[in-house]
Amino acid sequence: MAHDWQPDFEQLVDEHQSMVFSLAWRMTGDRGLAEEIAQDVFLELDRHLGRIESPLHACFWLRRVAMSRSADALRRRKVRRMDLWVEMDENHGARMEERASPLGARLEQLLATLPEPQRAALVLRYQEGLTPEEIAATLDAPLATVKSHLQRGLKLLRAKAQDSLREYVRVKECTGGH
Asked if residue 113 binds other proteins (CB under 8 A), the reply is: no
Question: For residue 49, how many C-alpha atoms fall within 13 Å in the half-sphere facing its CB?
Answer: 12
Interface with other proteins (CB under 8 A), residue from 14, 72, 133, 167: 14
Nearest approach, Cβ of 2 to other proteins (angstroms)?
A: 25
**Min separation Cβ 163 and other proteins, Å:** 14
Q: 22, 68, 145, 148: which one contacts other proteins (CB under 8 A)?
A: 22
Residue 57 CA to residue 59 CA, distance in Å, equals 5
Angle in degrees, CA 16, 86, 115, rounded to 5 = 65
Q: Does 139 bind other proteins (CB under 8 A)?
A: no
Whether residue 135 contacts residue 145, with contact meaning beta carbons closer than 8 Å, is answered with no
Residues 48-77 that bind other proteins (CB under 8 A): none
Nearby residues of 58 by Cβ (< 8 Å), 6 or more positions away = 7, 12, 16, 45, 52
End-to-end CA distance of the chain: 73
Residues that bind other proteins (CB under 8 A): 9-10, 13-14, 17-22, 25-26, 31, 35, 38-39, 42-43, 46, 99-101, 103-105, 107-108, 111, 122-123, 126-127, 129, 154, 157-158, 161
